[in-house]
Amino acid sequence: MTVAPTPPAGSGGPAAGMAALFRDTYGTEPHGVWAAPGRVNLIGEHTDYNDGFVMPFALPHTTLVAGARRADRTLAVYSADQPGPIAELPLDDLRPGRARPAGVPAWTAYPAGVAWALREAGHDLGGVSLAVRSTVPAGAGLSSSAALEVATALALDHLFGLGLTGPRLARAGRRAENAYVGVPSGIMDQMASACCAAGHVLHLDTRDLTFRQVPFEAAAAGLRLLVVDTGVRHSLADSGYAERRASCEAGAEALGVPALRDIPADGLDAALARLTDPVLRRRVRHVVTENARVAEVAALLAAGRHRAIGPVLTAGHASLRDDFEVSCPELDLVVATATAAGALGARMTGGGFGGSAVVLVEAEAAESVGRAVTEAAAAAGHPVPRVFTTTPSAGARALT
Ligand code: GAF
Please compute the mean of the pLDDT values over residues 24-31 and round it to a whole number: 98
Question: What does residue 251 show for φ and ψ, rounded to 5 degrees?
Answer: -65, -45
Q: How confident is the model at residue 245 (pLDDT cuts 50, 70, 90)?
A: very high
pLDDT at 5: 54
Please compute the mean of the pLDDT values over residues 46-72 and round it to a whole number: 98
Going from the Cα of 218 to the center of ligand 1, the distance in angstroms, rounded, reads 24
Question: Where a domain ends, among 149, 172, 206?
Answer: 206
Whether 125 shows a pLDDT value over 80: the answer reads yes
Shortest-distance Cα residue to atom 3 of ligand 1: 185
Q: How many domains does the chain have?
A: 2
Please compute the mean of the pLDDT values over residues 71-75 and round it to a whole number: 98
CB 373 within 8 A of CB 334: yes
pLDDT at 234: 72
What are the pLDDT digits (tens) for 156-194? 999 999 999 999 999 999 999 999 999 999 999 999 999
Please compute the mean of the pLDDT values over residues 301-322 and round it to a whole number: 98
367 labelled as ligand-binding? Answer: no
Strand extents, DSSP E, the chain: 32-41, 53-54, 56-69, 74-79, 87-90, 128-134, 200-205, 210-215, 223-229, 345-349, 356-362, 386-390, 397-398
The answer to whether position 377 is within a domain reads yes
Residues 137 and 198 in one domain: yes
Please compute the mean of the pLDDT values over residues 124-153 and round it to a whole number: 97
pLDDT at 236: 67
61 labelled as ligand-binding? Answer: no
Please report, for the domain that includes residue 317, its CATH number: 3.30.70.890
Which residue from 55, 236, 331 has its CB within 8 A of the most atoms of ligand 1, so it is best to mutate?
236
Taking the CA of residue 45 as reference, the ligand 1 atom at the shortest distance is 11
Taking the CA of residue 48 as reference, the ligand 1 atom at the shortest distance is 7
The answer to whether position 16 is within a domain reads yes
Shortest-distance Cα residue to atom 8 of ligand 1: 351
- The whole model's pTM is what? 0.96
149 labelled as ligand-binding? Answer: no
Whether 273 shows a pLDDT value over 70: the answer reads yes
Of 51, 157, 189, 323, the active-site residue reads: 189
Please compute the mean of the pLDDT values over residues 326-352 and round it to a whole number: 98
Shortest-distance Cα residue to atom 2 of ligand 1: 185
Ligand 1: list residues with CB < 6 Å: 45-46, 48-49, 185-186, 188-189, 236, 350-351
Whether 53 shows a pLDDT value over 50: the answer reads yes
What are the pLDDT digits (tens) for 378-390? 999 999 999 999 9
Going from the Cα of 138 to the center of ligand 1, the distance in angstroms, rounded, reads 15
The answer to whether position 396 is within a domain reads no
Please compute the mean of the pLDDT values over residues 345-358 and round it to a whole number: 97
Please compute the mean of the pLDDT values over residues 291-305 and round it to a whole number: 98
Residues 189 and 61 in one domain: yes
Taking the CA of residue 44 as reference, the ligand 1 atom at the shortest distance is 11
The answer to whether position 48 is within a domain reads no
Q: How confident is the model at residue 12 (pLDDT cuts 50, 70, 90)?
A: low
Residues 171 and 294 in one domain: no
- pLDDT over 70, % of the chain: 96
Residues 201 and 235 in one domain: no
Residues 69 and 133 in one domain: yes
What stretch of H or E contains 166? helix 166-175
Residues 224 and 309 in one domain: yes
Question: Where a domain ends, among 206, 227, 258?
Answer: 206
The one-letter code for the residue type at 200 is: H
Shortest-distance Cα residue to atom 9 of ligand 1: 351
Please report, for the domain that includes residue 146, its CATH number: 3.30.230.10
Q: Which residues pair with 346 in a beta bridge?
A: 359
Residues 187 and 81 in one domain: yes
Going from the Cα of 98 to the center of ligand 1, the distance in angstroms, rounded, reads 26
Residues 280 and 361 in one domain: yes
Range of the domain at 99: 2-39+53-206
Please compute the mean of the pLDDT values over residues 66-81 and round it to a whole number: 98
Which residue from 149, 188, 202 has its CB within 8 A of the most atoms of ligand 1, so it is best to mutate?
188
Shortest-distance Cα residue to atom 1 of ligand 1: 351
Going from the Cα of 332 to the center of ligand 1, the distance in angstroms, rounded, reads 19
Going from the Cα of 185 to the center of ligand 1, the distance in angstroms, rounded, reads 6
Whether 244 shows a pLDDT value over 60: the answer reads yes
Of 49 and 1, more confident: 49
Whether 9 shows a pLDDT value over 80: the answer reads no
Q: How confident is the model at residue 8 (pLDDT cuts 50, 70, 90)?
A: very low
Question: Where a domain ends, among 176, 206, 236?
Answer: 206
Q: How confident is the model at residue 2 (pLDDT cuts 50, 70, 90)?
A: very low
The answer to whether position 399 is within a domain reads no
Residues 227 and 164 in one domain: no
In whole angstroms, give the CA distance from residue 237 to residue 151.
22
144 labelled as ligand-binding? Answer: yes
Going from the Cα of 76 to the center of ligand 1, the distance in angstroms, rounded, reads 29
189 is catalytic: yes
pLDDT at 101: 86
The answer to whether position 284 is within a domain reads yes
The answer to whether position 271 is within a domain reads yes
3-state SS, one letter per residue, for 309-376: HHHHHHHHHHHHHHCCCCCCHHHHHHHHHHHHCCCCEEEEECCCCCCEEEEEEEHHHHHHHHHHHHHH
Residues 89 and 125 in one domain: yes
177 labelled as ligand-binding? Answer: yes
Residues 68 and 195 in one domain: yes
Residues 164 and 260 in one domain: no
Please compute the mean of the pLDDT values over residues 3-25 and round it to a whole number: 76
CB atoms within 10 A of CB 264: 12
The answer to whether position 46 is within a domain reads no
